[in-house]
Amino acid sequence: MSQALALFAKVIRKIGKRLLDIQKEAIGASIPEALSLKEGEIRTDWKPVEISVEDELNEAGNEVTKALRERQRAMIDSLDLSK
C-alpha cells in the first residue's frame, strides 16, 4: 500500500512539473526576445515613455478621488435633509 502511494505521489509530482513547464513556455513565448548586446554597447531601440510613472500615478489617484467625491455627493444629495 505504501509503495503504491509513493508511486502515485511521484506521478503527481511529474505531472505538476510538466504542467508548470508548459505554463513557463507559454509565458516565455509571449515575451519578446531581448537583443544580445556586446559588453559596453548601449541599446538604442528603446522608446522613452511620454509621461513619468509618478505623474501617471498622480493622475490615476486624482481620477479615483474625483469618482469617490462624486459618489459621496450623490449619496448626500439623495438624503432627505428636510428634517
Structural domain that includes position 60: 50-83
79 vs 81 pLDDT, higher one? 79
Q: How far apart are CA 60 and CA 54, in angstroms?
A: 10
End-to-end CA distance of the chain: 76
Is residue 5 domain-resident?
yes
Residue 38 located in a structural domain: no
CB 43 within 8 A of CB 35: yes
Q: What is the pTM of this model?
A: 0.39
Q: What is the pLDDT of residues 28-52, one digit of tens each?
A: 888 766 666 676 677 667 777 888 8
Q: How far apart are the C-alpha atoms of 27 and 19, rounded to whole Å?
A: 12
Domain assignment present for residue 83? The answer is yes
